[in-house]
Amino acid sequence: MPLTVAHAEAPARVLIVDDDGQIRQLLAGFLKENGLDVALARDGVEMRAALGQQAIDLIVLDLMLPGTGGLDLCRELRRTSSLPVIMLTAKGDETDRIVGLEVGADDYLAKPFNPRELLARIKAVLRRSRGDAGASTPSRNGYAFDGWRLDLLRRELINPEGALVELSGAEFDLLIAFMESPNRVLSRDWLLETTRNRTPDVFDRSVDVLISRLRRKIEQGSDGAEVIKTVRGAGYLFMPKVARA
Amino acid sequence: MRDWLRNFKFDTLTNRTILLMLIGIGVVHIASLYAYQIALDREASVASDTRLADRLLTIKRAVMRVVPAEREPVAHELSGGPIEAHWSRTDHAVAGGPGSAEWEGLRAKLIELAPELATNQIIIGANRKLESDPHLALISLQLPDESWINVSVFSRLTPPSSNHGTVLSTSLMALGVIGLSILLVRWMTRPLQTFADAAQRLYKSADQARVPEEGPREVRELASAFNEMQARIKRLIDDRTQALAAVSHDLKTPLTRLRLKSEGLKDKALAASIRADLAEMEQMLDQTLAYLSGDRTDEAIRSLDLAALIQTLADEASDAGADASIVGAGRLTIEGRSLALRRAFGNLIANAVKYGARARISVSSSDSTVVVTIDDDGPGIAAGDLVRAFEPFQRLEESRNRDTGGFGLGLTIARTIILGHGGSLMLANRSENGLRATVILPIKATASAAV
């Protein structure tokens, strides 16, 4: 089980495709500082060239590009590979978000984004894609438990009644951590590791607070049954059966 | 009938036209009847004056020709109808008194019609013996031998013939005109309703709603002008949206660079301060774009847990160091637009925290609605400003310094979103100090929200 991408093995290589030179350079510097290897491309042509030359683990793709736009490039990529893609856009419109996800992007971030949030998303997507290595199929975009559904693309939690349940970024990441390791006791430290890059501008809530918030949202109405069990001195255990969906 | 009158509204074109036609036709009808009657009366009076003059002349001649002993029987013989003639030695008529002007006119007219009557004296007046009878005009004609014929005229005027036939036909015509005009106006105003519907559709959705260009020429021209106007409006809106997208893109790129540059700063305090400024700029940009996009939204309506949404917002406020608490939240499923509602409640909670020190949120529901109240402990809003608070770019109280951030769009946006969900947003000062914002939302999306 690869826990941290940066230290456990060879650093993952991220290809940044953005037409703004400064953003490319600044982002490259920031990601390198945080233990990732970086390649750069300013448009579709350079992106294809870079993909031909070196092994890339993930692409950070700007939506607004000269020549072939980001959406078309993403569609093109999806036809040939399952390389993870995080879309960047200046729009931040709901429609753009949905379209971006529909053309097969793994995640989406609106400019101006928080660099540390991008880092967290990159790590999360890499962790997911490595976890699936070999068995990756386009439909691997969610989890289900007890009638609930967690949509990783749209970052949405849907309750058994079909209603959208709002989660904070940290709560969502916490839930993903449980989904990835169901029926296993997860330590506070491990849970903190998966969530601490989420909301770096506010002081980090303890895992206990996040757990209690998550419980309040997903244990409401489910017959009072315990979904997340506290294991004294060890951490937390996610009780329901989890299926990929 | 009374109900019908009460329900009859005079603000529709049809009803106004009917009313106008009724009044117009009524006035014309009455005026023409009046003119007709006057002419008829004049005709009749001229005819009766001529007849009277002829008869008086006949009586005078006949009586003159016979001996005095036979004069009374002859006069009597010639009486009949409205005229009764008697021969006597004296005149019975007295000129002057009430009605003398009319009698004088009659006298002049009789002399004009039969000048022979004037060869001797002619007096028209009241009966000397029956002075009290005003209807009875008495004409005394002097004969050459100075005896008199006294002729009583019961009525000089022929009674007005009742014109029921005329009234009936005119009324029928009026009814016909009214009926026809109702049909006509209804037919002509029907396109107006189409225009109104199309204008509504244009407002509610960004789509162009064309009005069919058919019907009479004026309506066709109006439809064509209306369609052209719609196309212009749509172009204008599209251009504006395009310009906004361009501006927002162009601003977001340097903002992204600044974000990245702040990560490289050694001075952590400075970096944090720069990031706070950036966050504020981003929020302003975001709010302005949200405000300008108005109640047009491409976000779909879906089922969502409002309690979880508000809970998340309250938690985020607490994480940012604010005092925000929530009571009454369970699972609360409603139909709505999640991002929009997040923005609306986020703005309300942010206001409470900013201006009122803390946000105390309560969530409750009934069969068809959800009520969310957000109380703060601030100074509230002066009663006169409660309405103004919703206006864009209004920052109430000059004392609120810019540190509080935002620039007066939060409430405007919140209200637009909540109205767009078929709900309502009210502000009120709480009796125990502080402001209460009350949001009422329908659980099922209403038709207007579903556009």
pLDDT tens digits for range B97-113: 666 777 777 788 888 88
* The predicted structure's pLDDT at residue B98: 64
How far, CA to CA in Å, does B161 sit from each of B37, B41, B47, B158, B421?
9, 9, 15, 8, 72
Contact indicator for A235, A188 with CB cutoff of 8 Å: yes
B130 confidence band (pLDDT: 50, 70, 90): low
Kindly state whether B325 is in contact with chain A, defined as any CB-CB distance less than 8 angstroms.
Answer: no
B345 confidence band (pLDDT: 50, 70, 90): very high
Question: Which strand ranges, in their side-by-side order, compose the sheet holding A235-238?
Answer: A185-186, A235-238, A228-231
Give the pLDDT confidence of A129-154 residue by residue, as tens digits: 776 554 444 445 789 998 899 988 77
* The predicted structure's pLDDT at residue B6: 61
Residue B157 has pLDDT above 50, yes or no: no
A-chain CB neighbours of B252 within 8 Å are: 90, 111-112
Do the Cβ atoms of B248 and A91 come within 8 Å?
Answer: yes
Give the pLDDT confidence of B367-376 residue by residue, as tens digits: 889 999 999 9
Kindly state whether A91 is in contact with chain B, defined as any CB-CB distance less than 8 angstroms.
Answer: yes
Q: How far is B282 from chain A (nearest CA, A)?
A: 8
Do the Cβ atoms of A94 and B252 come within 8 Å?
Answer: no
Give the best residue of B242, B257, B260 to mutate against chain A (max A CB count within 10 A): B260
* Nearest beta carbon to residue A161 from set B264, B303, B316: B303
Q: How far is B378 from chain A (nearest CA, A)?
A: 25
Longest dimension (CA), chain A: 57
* Nearest beta carbon to residue B331 from set A22, A115, A221: A221
Dihedrals phi, psi of A5, to nearest 5 degrees: -70, -40
Do the Cβ atoms of B330 and A220 come within 8 Å?
Answer: yes
Residues in contact with B104: Cβ distance below 8 Å, sequence separation at least 6, in sequence order: B95, B124
Kindly state whether B260 is in contact with chain A, defined as any CB-CB distance less than 8 angstroms.
Answer: yes
Residue A78 has pLDDT above 80, yes or no: yes
Kindly provide the ipTM of the predicted complex, given to two decimals: 0.76
* The predicted structure's pLDDT at residue A114: 86
Question: What is the dihedral sign for C-alpha A5, A7, A8, A9?
Answer: positive
* The predicted structure's pLDDT at residue A148: 92
Amino acid at A130: R
Kindly state whether B341 is in contact with chain A, defined as any CB-CB distance less than 8 angstroms.
Answer: no
Residue of higher predicted confidence among B295 and B411: B411
Pick from A125, A108, A47: which is nearest to A80 by CA? A47
* The predicted structure's pLDDT at residue A102: 75
- Chain A residues 48-77 with CB within 8 Å of chain B: 64
Residue A26 has pLDDT above 90, yes or no: yes
Give the pLDDT confidence of A177-211 residue by residue, as tens digits: 888 888 889 888 888 777 665 544 444 567 888 89
Which whole number is the average pLDDT over B342-352?
A: 92
Do the Cβ atoms of B253 and A90 come within 8 Å?
Answer: yes
Contact indicator for B374, B352 with CB cutoff of 8 Å: yes
* The predicted structure's pLDDT at residue B174: 73
Q: How far is A240 from chain B (nearest CA, A)?
A: 20
Find the residue in A nearest to B241 (Cα): A91
Do the Cβ atoms of A94 and B248 come within 8 Å?
Answer: no
Find the residue in A nearest to B299 (Cα): A94
* Nearest beta carbon to residue B245 from set A91, A201, A217: A91
pTM: 0.62
